[in-house]
Chain A
């Protein structure tokens, strides 16, 4: 049986491997929701291919805009797939640390209460 540290190490390595494969292999087609948006706005047939220049957000009604530091899991066009790999590794590490931090914080608060 694997100990906790090995579980984290193996888990993170697998996650990073998936992330790196995703940078090169991920489909450029719009996801299920965006694709549905193209269908209902008449830019795409239900079972047809997606248009190259389709804009899923034309169906939108909201007005709020937020610009994230690493949009679309990339560091911008000029960084290419290297930027994608860096972004995904940063994301995986942040997720691991944030979740661990949150869990230890919850545990600590439990300890101090009882």
Chain B
């Protein structure tokens, strides 16, 4: 889902950058108020893991591959959509500048889609779903699917505004491919939360229902 430079004209790319910077500012504010010494290793390790997962393009049939985004994972584990904004922004900066994955001018749009939209959709859908089905891992999986699918649709809309994709075929293609990628995203998100709950339940946000022992 990393938008390359060529896909968005500069004036529009600038607007997405401005939105991204506003959310990054809020994410830094979140880090300043919520951070404690113990959470720093967890956030850093989550970021390193998300970087690794994003480099792994999994085949999803139909001549297409996809990798995980990790926005829902970061937001659920750390209990804030701003955690996703913070982590995904830094991961996207490293990917863009060092590995040419995602453009520089379009980085704002990528931060908006994967960090902001992915983080907020992942976090709030998890909060809503867990109230209904009371199962941490299933709720996280569904939230992660949504946090992959909805940003893909947002990306298709941005592509349509940019004049790069026609709207409906863009929505259909992006939606279809990411609906499948999202299934893998859901499974991996649930598994990672399970592993973290085994290793360090004390570091996981209490709203997840993971019991601290």
* B209 interface residue per 8 A CB criterion: no
- Determine whether the beta carbon of B63 is less than 8 Å from that of A30: yes
Contact with B along A89-114 (1 / 0, CB 8 A): 01111111011101110110110000
- The B interface, classified by DSSP as helix, strand, loop or mixed, is helix
Instruction: Tell me whether A66 and B104 are in contact in the complex, defined as CB-CB below 8 angstroms, given that A18-B56, A60-B4, A73-B99 are known contacts.
Output: yes
- Determine whether the beta carbon of A92 is less than 8 Å from that of B51: yes
Residues of A within 8 A of B90 (CB): 95, 98-99, 102
Contact with A along B32-62 (1 / 0, CB 8 A): 1001011011111111110111011111101
| B66 CB, min distance to chain A CBs, angstroms | 5
- How many angstroms from the CA of A98 to the CA of B98 in the assembled complex? 13
Q: How many pairs, one residue from A and one from B, have CB atoms within 8 Å of each other in the complex?
A: 246
Instruction: Tell me whether A15 and B52 are in contact in the complex, defined as CB-CB below 8 angstroms, given that A61-B7, A70-B100 are known contacts.
Output: yes
- Determine whether the beta carbon of A99 is less than 8 Å from that of B176: no
- Determine whether the beta carbon of A103 is less than 8 Å from that of B99: no
B1-45 residues at the A interface, CB under 8 angstroms:
1-10, 13, 28, 31-32, 35, 37-38, 40-45
- Determine whether the beta carbon of A18 is less than 8 Å from that of B53: yes
- Determine whether the beta carbon of A103 is less than 8 Å from that of B43: yes
Q: Which residue of B lies closest to A10 (CB)?
A: B199
B139-191 residues at the A interface, CB under 8 angstroms:
152, 155-156, 159, 162-166, 169-170, 172-174, 176-178, 181
Residues of A within 8 A of B152 (CB): 32
- How many angstroms from the CA of A11 to the CA of B47 in the assembled complex? 10
Which B residues fall within an 8 A CB radius of A? 1-10, 13, 28, 31-32, 35, 37-38, 40-49, 51-53, 55-60, 62-67, 87, 90-91, 93-101, 103-106, 152, 155-156, 159, 162-166, 169-170, 172-174, 176-178, 181, 199-203, 213
Which A residues fall within an 8 A CB radius of B? 1-2, 4-5, 7-8, 10-12, 14-16, 18-19, 21-22, 25-33, 35-37, 39-40, 44, 46-50, 56-57, 59-73, 87-88, 90-96, 98-100, 102-104, 106-107, 109-110
24 contacts between A and B (CB under 8 A): A1-B201, A7-B203, A10-B199, A11-B46, A14-B49, A22-B56, A37-B165, A40-B166, A46-B176, A61-B7, A62-B5, A62-B8, A64-B10, A64-B103, A66-B96, A70-B100, A73-B55, A88-B55, A95-B44, A95-B91, A98-B47, A100-B44, A102-B90, A106-B32
